[in-house]
């Protein structure tokens, strides 16, 4: 009984010394083998990136022109089963699996000849087997005013027959660094030639 009581603190002191020996050894090893000019990651102050200002909330409003036919079409189908090759699993009436690439102009007014503010570049694909629903993966590349050269990135679900579709804004570049927010899309007009979609974007940025 007495030997156990004596042995316990001795053992823990030994383990403690062993621990510190290994720990200080590995620390000195790390310092000698990892020069400070090869640091992979470190904490920095937000002010070093000019993030001292308060976050701003911007509302952007524009019209997207998805021109599906004619010589100035802005949409191209890049993948998907053709009608002839449809199998039982791809015979969905909702174009399931089709992928389209877009380079759509964005204008201030519904008129395509009104001031252009940028382009929507990316892709949408038909992502549902039971309804008309798109997966949107695109960048809004702005070319107008203080947003010229800045982008916003969208990744979301576009249930095209709903009156208003909401998609997350995951980030951005330029004045939209650290951006986050959402986009609301509403069909303005649609025919066999083009779809005009009204966009309202609400985004936090610095």
Ligand X SMILES: *[C@@H]1O[C@H](CO)[C@@H](O)[C@H](O)[C@H]1NC(C)=O
Q: Which of 70, 131, 189, 190 binds ligand X (CB under 6 A)?
A: 70
Q: How far apart are CA 126 and CA 21, in angstroms?
A: 61
Q: Which is nearer to ligand X, 46 or 70 (CB)?
A: 70
Cβ-contact 158, 167 below 8 angstroms: yes
Backbone phi, psi, residue 91, to 5°: -85, 25
Applying CB under 6 A, among 149, 184, 190, 202 the residue interacting with ligand X is: 149
Return the range that interacts with ligand X (CB under 6 A); candidates 95-103, 140-148, 174-182, 184-192: 140-148
Spatial contact of 102 and 122, defined as CB atoms under 8 Å apart: yes
What secondary structure letter does DSSP report for 94? Answer: T
The region, left, alpha or beta by phi > 0 then psi within -120 to 50, assigned to residue 78 is alpha
> Is residue 115 a contact point for ligand X (CB under 6 A)?
no
CB of residue 112 to ligand X, shortest distance in Å: 5
Minimum distance of ligand X from residue 122's CB (angstroms): 20
Tell me if 112 contacts ligand X by CB under 6 A.
yes
Binding footprint of ligand X on the chain (CB under 6 A): 70, 72, 111-113, 143-144, 148-149
């Amino acid at each position: 009984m007495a030997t156990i009581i004596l042995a316990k603190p001795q053992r823990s002191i030994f383990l403690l010394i062993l621990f510190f020996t290994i720990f200080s050894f590995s620390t000195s090893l790390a310092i000698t083998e990892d020069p400070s000019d090869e640091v992979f990651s470190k904490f920095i102050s937000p002010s070093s990136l000019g993030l001292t200002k308060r976050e701003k909330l911007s509302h952007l409003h524009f019209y997207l022109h998805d021109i599906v036919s004619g010589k100035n079409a802005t949409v191209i189908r890049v993948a998907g089963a053709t009608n002839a090759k449809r199998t039982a699993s791809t015979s969905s009436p909702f174009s399931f699996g089709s992928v389209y690439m877009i380079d759509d102009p964005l204008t201030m007014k519904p008129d395509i000849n009104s001031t252009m503010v940028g382009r929507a570049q990316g892709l949408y694909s038909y992502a549902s087997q039971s309804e008309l629903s798109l997966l949107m993966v695109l960048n809004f590349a702005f070319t107008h005013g203080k947003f010229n050269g800045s982008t916003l990135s969208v990744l979301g679900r576009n249930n095209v027959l709903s009156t208003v579709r909401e998609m997350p804004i995951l980030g951005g570049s330029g004045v939209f660094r650290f951006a986050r927010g959402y986009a609301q899309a509403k069909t303005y007009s649609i025919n066999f030639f083009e779809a005009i979609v009204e966009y309202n974007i609400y985004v936090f940025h610095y």
